[in-house]
Amino acid sequence: MKKIIFFIIFLCFCLTISINIKANNDIYVMPGGESIGLKIETGVEIVGKYSVSTSDGKKNPWQKSNIEIGDYIEKVNEYNVENNESLLKILKQLDESSCVLTIKRNNKLIKTNIDIVKTNTYEPSIGLYVKDKMLGIGTLSFIYDNKFASLGHGIYENNELININQGDLTYSNVVSIKKATLNQSGEKRATLASNKIGEIKTIKDSGVYGVINQKMNKNKIKIADIEDVKCDDAVIYTVINGNKVETFDIEIIETKYQNSVNSKGIKIKVTDSVLLSETGGIIQGMSGSPIIQNGELVGVVSHVTLDNPMIGYAVYAKWMYEDLINY
């Protein structure tokens, strides 16, 4: 009998230790919901080629070069190229008939010669369409210390995460909504604020991450463990008008056990009559909206189902937290 009593006491002691350890490992963050703007410098990407009109007719200065759409221009001769403006400035300074481009392709550097021709207006040209930045809107997911997590999914081009040199985080103001319908996605239409509130540091499959310099006074909430997320009622925080964060009802209808990052771990359904009336369900710009269940941050909206905009997916908040602290 004494042995049984001792075993019960020992079991209770172990259980107490286990509970205390779990409590000590709890993570608390400030949930977001704010509409944000993303200004990302991607590097100087070649997106097309064209024939240049000169006083001697049309010319293709790139014709004998080893250049492909999707390459990034790193250097002209020995000069670093940071953006479109610097590329044009370098070409004007050279005042030469050809140069050497250092381009990046599949993370490998390649050097190739290219002609420089004068346009009808006597401007230097290499006949390449290039872009150096990307603008977009989304939703702030959460803040931990001085770092932010947002979007709930990566930003891709040609099925690859985009290249990022640097980026700015701003607020955005939702001015109108394009309502979602069956087989056609809706979207938030917003203007980006000029004031920078943070810097984008990295883009991963689970979201966009960086540092934030805007102080927010919000109550912190716990990030739920993956196994604690249940098929039940929940809410999301998001903006559908101006910059006011509102709360809307959803239902978690499916959860997947995962042992590695995947942006579709939670399946959700919009049940809020106001949100359905205004947006038709989940729309572009809503990505990153935090999902709260039983007072805990369980996930972040990541995708919509096109054939039924009431249904969407979310990434577990725990995955985003781990990516945030490890970038």
Give Dmax over CA atoms of the chain in angstroms.
106
In one-letter notation, the amino acid at residue 252 is: I
pLDDT, tens digit, 9 for 90 and up, residues 197-253: 999 999 999 999 999 998 888 999 999 999 999 999 999 999 999 999 999 999 999
Catalytic residue among 65, 115, 150, 153: 153
Note if the pTM is more than 0.85. Answer: no
Catalytic residue among 132, 168, 272, 323: 272
Tokens of 38: 């993303």
pLDDT, tens digit, 9 for 90 and up, residues 20-58: 444 458 999 999 999 999 999 888 999 999 999 999 999
State the Rg of the chain over Cα. 25
DSSP 226: G
Q: Answer yes or no: 97 catalytic.
A: no
Q: Answer yes or no: 287 catalytic.
A: yes
Query: What is the model's pLDDT at position 161?
Result: 86
Tokens of 148: 């932010």
Per-residue burial over 40-70, b = 16 or more CB atoms within 10 Å of its CB, e = otherwise: bbbbbbbeebeebeeeeeebebbeebebeee
Q: Answer yes or no: 153 catalytic.
A: yes
**Contact, 285 vs 126, CB < 8 A?**
no
N- to C-terminal Cα separation, the chain: 55
| 192 vs 106: CA distance, rounded Å | 32
> Coil, strand, or helix at residue 55?
coil
Catalytic residue among 35, 65, 125, 287: 287
Number of other residues whose CB lies within 10 A of the CB of residue 128: 23
For residues 281 and 163, the model is more confident at 281
pLDDT, tens digit, 9 for 90 and up, residues 279-314: 999 999 999 999 999 999 999 999 999 899 999 999
Which pLDDT band holds residue 2 (cuts at 50, 70, 90)?
very low
Beta bridge partners of 7: none
Closest-CA residue to 255 (of 283, 281, 280, 224):
224
Instruction: Inform me whether the pLDDT recorded for 96 exceeds 50.
Output: yes
For residues 270 and 182, the model is more confident at 270
